[in-house]
Structure 1
Amino acid sequence: MVLESARLAGELPGAVLDPARLAAVADTGLLDTPSEGTFDDLAQLALAITGAQKAFFTVADGRRSFWKAAIGLDPSGARENDIRDSPCHILIGTGRELIAEDAATDPRIKDLAAVAALGIGAWAGYPVVSPEGHVLGGFCVVDENPRPFAPAQSQALQTLARSVSSEIALRQALRRARASGDASAALARTLQDSLLPPRLPDTADLDVAAVYLPADITGGTGVDVVGDFYDLFRTRGRSWCAVMGDVCGKGIDAAKVTALARYTVRAEATQHTSAATVLHRLHEAMTEQKVSERFLTAALLVFRPDSDGHGVRGRYASAGHPPALIRRADGTVEELTASGMLLHPLLPPDHDRTETVFRLGPGDALLLYTDGITDARDHHRGPRFGEERLARALAATHGADAGQTLAHLSGEASAHSGGHAVDDTALMLIRVSPHAP
């Protein structure tokens, strides 16, 4: 065994046999387990996006690459190969994506046994990582012929690989929560760490901010807290997508819906410019995967800064979510509405879902929010903060930047409720610079 380990160490990147990485792989509990719909669905989505013939999610220990998902292969066949034969060990060694447009001539993989065994003409793979940053394996597609992968396809694959990483992190946190009995704290941390972006991306000519405020946890009963979610990301070229969602209820099922919604929106928004279409595709994913019967409301924007830098143009769609608010540069506030039912796996598709075109000029700002802020009230069940107070508070921030605006809104709601939060609250503001050329 010592001689075998020494021989492998001479043939593989050092990271492959790193004890900390191997411990992280073992901790996933995924090795030698059956295929699962969650990972298979992500792999199927990768094929739909790229047009490739095979897709894999692999988990790699020190000797083999185990195919947790293997779409396009005979399901009765082998589900692993030697780690030395798989491009996966290169992902582990570099911690970066590997795209080989012509596998037969690419010096990195042309001599690997997997190229011939799997009929690899082109290969595109991305690392799947643990919360601590260890590369657990890879998420990849295989085309039988040499071919390039378009930037939008590569970006979608990267998003799907991150979704696999998030799914693994969520499962581990829930498993530890069950073992420790501290489910509420673990789920709250999971939401913050895995289901919300750690920071919003930098956007030219735009001032953006977001805040998540969890509901109160009282009584020491270990109440599960999952809550609302938001995301903002680039889709293709200079285009962007923003989403705000609210999953009904709390607990493990709600966390699963949140994770599904976030990675599905990220994948679909790179393929569609219609906000309504992205929500329709999310509804299909909820129906097909059936991770829970929780319902979801969501508001979604697809938008693009004007080429001259004078503002933003976009489309807005809603799935039963509170209307977005636009604060114009002169301080007036407008509602942005679009019709559409909430999302539920047992509801039929909403073919009447509409989308609304909007434009933001210099100094204009658009607010997405969940009903935690409008439902804010004190311990004595006094009046709600409500939509009118929210609109007035937003108007009062005339001239404020994104961060200052959200601080004022959350402060006003907290003052109204005496600091009591009956529900999770998420807020996101997108503001065009008032000094746009």
Structure 2
Amino acid sequence: MDDSADDLFEHAPCGNLTSRPDGTIVKVNATLLDWLGFTRDELVGRRRLGDLLTVGARLYYETHLAPLLAMQGEISGISLDLRTKDGGTFPVLVSSIVRTGGDGRPDVVRTIVFDGRDRRAYEQELLHARRVAENEGGRLRHLVADLQRSLLPSVLQTPPGLEVAAHYRMASVDEVGGDFYDLFRLNDGRWGFFLGDVSGKGVDAAAVTALARYTLRAAAVYDPDPAAVLNNLNQVLYQEYRQDARYCTVVFGILTLEDDGFSAVVASGGHPEPLLLRADGTAGRHPTKGRLVGVFPSSTYTNTVLTARRGDTLVLYTDGVTEARTGIGRQRFGVEAVTAFANDLSPAGAASTVDAFVDLLDGFAAGLEDDTAVMAIGVPK
């Protein structure tokens, strides 16, 4: 076994190459020759280091690495592609150091070359995996958006003589939320409306959302009494999801058109109180009470009545607004802040009110942690 310095140089597990400051190769070991397929006579004194680089690698070396090597005296772990004798490429990692002579001037450049094929293959696998993940992520976001749209009315119907607007904001494009709303005409000329929020996110929450929407509409046709409608939904959700603890909050109302506006019978199950913006410039919360829907086997829901006249606007929203974090201390926005915000808006029509809420949500930025739905029903002045 030959452990001489010459043998260690020639058969090292890495390539070794020595060149003059102008790049002319003066020494190269057998390992590098074997990788590239050249003979020693073909390289030593005949080729420069740049001649062994692919076109792109050579351009990068001459414009970036060579000046850096001249200034710093060394470069380390640079990924390059060498050309083999048969015209192929050989990926490597290169480290070089400049040795100076007695006069302090550069004498030779010593370069160590590591086989980069395994690393390149690994990088390609990572790149491929990243592209696949990005494609799957894009596909998932499209599916989430499609699923979310299917849980909302494609077109929000507008009762004659009124103004309606709505907005839905997803907190994450990667996960479907559970907020929902709708406004629909009943056979007797009245209108049903609701806005709610299902606990949790994802496909399971979407299933509960779909069940809640269709149950509310069906129950309203059977018995257009808001308290009875919520009681019906409570029984359906409790029987279906009591093992999974799935529930929702919701405001449901039956709206009757009148000559100068509308009146509405409203019931709520654990939901934020509706806001009523008045034509006189005031605003307040309409008091509602009621347990979360789907948590208890039986719950009592109470109807209340509100009226809206010309210039008034009824606003329903989910707790994504109140639970958003804001300010230096990242405090919850809260119900009182929403009420004050509505008071500053009043009097405002449905479209202007929803636009203002959109701007408010934009201002929360990353502080908006939950999906948010807003619906406004207004009586034009």
CA contact (8 A) 2:279 2:346 kept: yes
Q: Does 1:202 align with 2:158?
A: yes
Out of 264, 267, 285, which is 2:236 matched to? 285
> Using the alignment, how far apart are the partners of 1:238 and 1:335 within structure 2?
27
What TM-score results when the alignment is normalised by the length of structure 1? 0.53
Match of 1:224 in 2: 175
> What code does the residue aligned with 1:329 have?
A
CA deviation map 1:127-179 (0-9, x unaligned): xxxxxxxxxxxxxxxxxxxxxxxxxxxxxxxxxxxxxxxxxxxxxxxxxxxxx
Q: Is this contact kept in 2: 1:393–1:412, CA < 8 A?
A: no
| Residue matched to 2:276 | 326
Task: Provide the rounded CA distance (Å) in 1 between the counterparts of 2:144 and 2:169.
Answer: 14
Cα shift at 1:183:
4.4
3-state SS of 1:270 partner: helix
| Aligned partners of 1:373 and 1:385 also within 8 Å | yes
CA distance in 2, matches of 1:261, 1:358: 24
Q: Which residue of 2 aligns with 1:259?
A: 210
Tell me the secondary structure at the aligned position of residue 340 of structure 1: coil
Q: Who is 1:354 aligned against?
A: 302
Gapped regions of structure 2 (runs ≥ 5): 1-135
**What's the offset of the Cα at 1:381?**
5.9
Mapped pair 1:429 → 2:376: yes
Name which of 152, 168, 187 aligns with 2:144: 187
Task: Give the C-alpha shift of residue 347 in structure 1.
Answer: 1.6
Measured after TM superposition, the shift of residue 334 of structure 1 is 1.9
C-alpha distance in structure 1 between counterparts of 2:313 and 2:153, whole Å: 21
How far is the alpha carbon of 1:388 from its aligned partner? 2.2
Distance 1:360 1:403 in 2: 16
| Bigger CA radius of gyration | 2
Aligned positions of 1:347-426 closer than 5 A:
347-351=296-300, 353-378=301-326, 382-415=330-363, 417-418=364-365, 420-426=367-373
Q: Secondary structure in 2 aligned to 1:374?
A: coil
d(CA) in 2 for partners of 1:188 and 1:342?
Answer: 27
SS of 1:396's partner is helix
Report the CA distance shift for 1:188/1:293 in structure 2 as closer, same or farther (over 3 A): farther
* Superposed displacement of residue 378, structure 1: 4.4
Give the % identical residues: 38
Alpha carbon RMSD of aligned pairs, Å?
Answer: 2.2
Which one of 299, 306, 316 corresponds to residue 251 of structure 2? Answer: 299
1:184, CA displacement in angstroms?
Answer: 5.2
Of residues 321, 324, 339 in structure 1, which corresponds to 2:289?
339
The structure in which a higher percent of residues are strand is 2
1:276 maps to 2:227: yes
Change (3 A) 1:379 1:333: closer
Aligned-pair CA distance for 1:402: 1.1
Is the CA contact 2:182–2:195 (under 8 Å) kept in the aligned structure 1?
A: yes
Counterpart contact for 2:282–2:347, Cα < 8 Å: no
Task: Spell out the pairing of 1:9-408 with structure 2 (5 A cutoff).
Answer: 183=140, 185-192=142-149, 194-217=150-173, 223-290=174-241, 292-306=244-258, 309-344=259-294, 347-351=296-300, 353-378=301-326, 382-408=330-356
Give structure 1 stretches of 5+ with no counterpart.
1-179, 218-222
Q: Tell me the matched-pair count.
A: 245
Q: 1:201 Cα shift?
A: 0.8
**1:318 touches 1:337 (CA, 8 Å); kept in 2?**
no
Deviation at residue 253 of structure 1 after TM alignment: 1.1
